[in-house]
Amino acid sequence: MSATHTKPSYDRAGDASRSFATNADLKQFFAEHPEADNGPRWFPDGKPNPKHKHHEPKTEAVASVPWLKDEVEALIKLRDGDPSLLWDKATLTLPATTPSADPLDRLYNLSDLLAADLPEPEFLIGGLLPLGLSVLAARPKVGKSWLALLWSIALSGGATLAGGYRARTVPVLYLALEDTPRRFRDRAKKTLAATGMLANNHLEIRVRCPRASGGGLRLVREWLQSHQGGLVIVDTLAKFRDPGDKGNAYLADYQALAELKMLADSAGGAVLVIHHTRKGIADDPFDEVSGTLGITGAADSIFVLDRNRGEGTAAMYVTGRDVPDQTYALAWDENSCLWSITGMDGGITRIEKSDTTTKVGQCAIWLRAFIGTEYAWPDDEILAAAKAQGFTENNAKEAKVNLRKESPSLCSKPSGAGGKWWNWIGDKDTRLPPRPTPFPVIPVP
């Protein structure tokens, strides 16, 4: 490799201010000196970096050509993957651009936009599930996939759900990525038998799909384009999205959802993403969605399904760009695995704090009265008393979390045996008065 190579100079098409020169210079250089090309990936400091998929000059080439190192360092700052930043290898000019037919790409002025005849938001399930991108999140194994299955069967047949929610007849693609064909078949049989709905050919199922960048997005795009106004259910996001960029978790989360939203909007259809909530209880239920705010920020609508395992009631909190904040009361039939909407309230209201029909709500009321004596109680004795009242360990744990949020004066002190001690005596008071034996019986509300 000679040190006499000079930086290529040639006319470039397009706006030179957009910094395309670097990419073009390198392509020209590699075209003239293929022996300097070390392949289509850039390895800074000798470490593989899949984010940068441009060609890498060999080490000796960088050392021999003074301007090449600067060009390469500038190149990796360009956005990767945007076709508008890539030069045509043959002509070294920007690819020709044609006006987009997508109305979402149109440039409006305010006067034209105000006068434009634009459609109102459309719903696949009346007043509940709109077009666009929606996220349905819940803890593992509490029935979110059963709810998505119920919606998919209702939509494929235009049925009416319990509570009078009418579903449009639309084609549905269900990506059941955590299921097997047998399991999905058995669940579908159970749902059809419980609802009286009929099977049809408008619901299509895949239990295997490539990751987003490996062909998954292309599959969703092609299906939506060939099934106008259809719905794609991605169950679950973690099985579909690409591994995130740990350096910017928010950007990775947002991008994972934004790609699906773009496909739904462009095709005039909908994508419903099944996701998980994190451990713990937040004041705002949408803060419980696993991941960063990039997940909820990118979605048009968010559904958070909140059910305690083993209980027959649940709350579903809904917010979005085209839906008002709503809290739905749901009933869960353990035998048929069927959901039904039993009530609705405007706004977001934590049902377990105000509705004594839930086990956690009952346990919180009982626990407040139980601890509300002159005695202090260790964790293990609270749990034993809760179980004696018919509550589970999870009921007691969540009830304590709720009580501490509502009453910060409730103390849990790491003194004494049997775990933390709970009382309202105060942080500085370390008295451990004797508890009555047996446990005081307090009627469950």
Burial of 84 per CB tally in 10 Å (0-12, 13-18, 19+):
exposed
Query: How many whole angstroms separate alpha carbon 151 and alpha carbon 167?
Result: 8
The answer to whether residues 331 and 245 belong to one domain is yes
Q: Compute the C-alpha angle 320/322/326, nearest 5°.
A: 55
More reliable by pLDDT, 416 or 190: 190
**In this predicted structure, what is the pLDDT of residue 57?**
52
Structure tokens given for 280: 């713990």
DSSP-derived 3-state class of residue 385: helix
The answer to whether residues 350 and 366 belong to one domain is no
**In this predicted structure, what is the pLDDT of residue 117?**
87
Q: 205: pLDDT confidence band, cut at 50, 70 and 90?
A: very high
> Which stretch of 131-145, 158-172, 245-259, 337-351 has the lowest confidence by average pLDDT?
337-351
Mean pLDDT of 368-377: 67
Q: 245: pLDDT confidence band, cut at 50, 70 and 90?
A: low
> Which stretch of 84-98, 196-210, 300-314 has the lowest confidence by average pLDDT?
84-98
- The predicted model scores a pTM of 0.61
The answer to whether residues 68 and 185 belong to one domain is no
Identity of the amino acid at 305: L
pLDDT tens, residue by residue, 53-98: 455 555 554 445 544 554 444 444 443 333 333 333 333 333 445 6
Checking 412-415 for CB contacts under 8 A at 24+ apart, the result is 413/376
The answer to whether residues 231 and 299 belong to one domain is yes
Say if CB 347 and CB 341 are below 8 A apart. no
Q: Note down the domain range covering 135.
A: 123-354
Query: How many whole angstroms separate alpha carbon 264 and alpha carbon 230?
Result: 9
Query: How many whole angstroms separate alpha carbon 294 and alpha carbon 254?
Result: 4
% of the chain residues with pLDDT over 70:
63
pLDDT of 116 higher than 70: yes
DSSP-derived 3-state class of residue 413: strand
Mean pLDDT of 283-292: 89
The answer to whether residues 348 and 330 belong to one domain is yes
Q: 284: pLDDT confidence band, cut at 50, 70 and 90?
A: confident
The answer to whether residues 29 and 152 belong to one domain is no
Query: How many whole angstroms separate alpha carbon 363 and alpha carbon 391?
Result: 7
More reliable by pLDDT, 156 or 4: 156
Neighbours of 381 (CB within 10 A): 18
436 in any annotated domain: no
270 in any annotated domain: yes
The answer to whether residues 400 and 304 belong to one domain is no
Q: 45: pLDDT confidence band, cut at 50, 70 and 90?
A: very low
148 in any annotated domain: yes
118 in any annotated domain: no
**In this predicted structure, what is the pLDDT of residue 121?**
86
pLDDT of 171 higher than 50: yes
Query: How many whole angstroms separate alpha carbon 171 and alpha carbon 202?
Result: 5
Indicate the residue among 333, 354, 375 that finishes a domain.
354
Neighbours of 395 (CB within 10 A): 27
Query: How many whole angstroms separate alpha carbon 34 and alpha carbon 29?
Result: 8
The answer to whether residues 45 and 187 belong to one domain is no
Instruction: List, in sequence order, every residue forming a beta bridge with 213; answer none if it has no partner.
Output: none
The answer to whether residues 346 and 380 belong to one domain is no
Pairing of strands 203-206, 172-176: parallel
CATH of the domain at 386: 1.10.10
The answer to whether residues 149 and 207 belong to one domain is yes
pLDDT of 411 higher than 70: no
441 in any annotated domain: no
pLDDT tens, residue by residue, 327-372: 888 999 989 999 998 887 777 766 544 444 567 777 877 777 777 6
How many domains does the chain divide into?
Answer: 3
CATH of the domain at 185: 3.40.50.300
Indicate the residue among 55, 85, 115 that finishes a domain.
85
The answer to whether residues 374 and 308 belong to one domain is no
The answer to whether residues 138 and 259 belong to one domain is yes
Structure tokens given for 267: 């095709």
pLDDT of 436 higher than 90: no
Indicate the residue among 354, 376, 391 that finishes a domain.
354
- The residues, ordered by sequence, that sit 6+ positions from 58 with a Cβ below 8 Å of its Cβ are 1, 35, 36, 37, 38
Q: Compute the C-alpha angle 385/331/134, nearest 5°.
A: 115
**In this predicted structure, what is the pLDDT of residue 300?**
95
Mean pLDDT of 12-24: 37
Q: 415: pLDDT confidence band, cut at 50, 70 and 90?
A: low
Query: For the chain, what is the total number of helices (H) and then of strands (E)?
Result: 14, 16
443 in any annotated domain: no
112 in any annotated domain: no
406 in any annotated domain: yes
**In this predicted structure, what is the pLDDT of residue 369?**
72
Q: 430: pLDDT confidence band, cut at 50, 70 and 90?
A: very low
Say if CB 203 and CB 195 are below 8 A apart. no
More reliable by pLDDT, 347 or 113: 113
pLDDT of 429 higher than 50: no
Q: 375: pLDDT confidence band, cut at 50, 70 and 90?
A: low
Mean pLDDT of 220-224: 95
> Which stretch of 2-11, 82-91, 134-143, 156-165 has the lowest confidence by average pLDDT?
82-91
Query: How many whole angstroms separate alpha carbon 76 and alpha carbon 230?
Result: 39
Query: How many whole angstroms separate alpha carbon 322 and alpha carbon 124?
Result: 13
Mean pLDDT of 43-62: 47
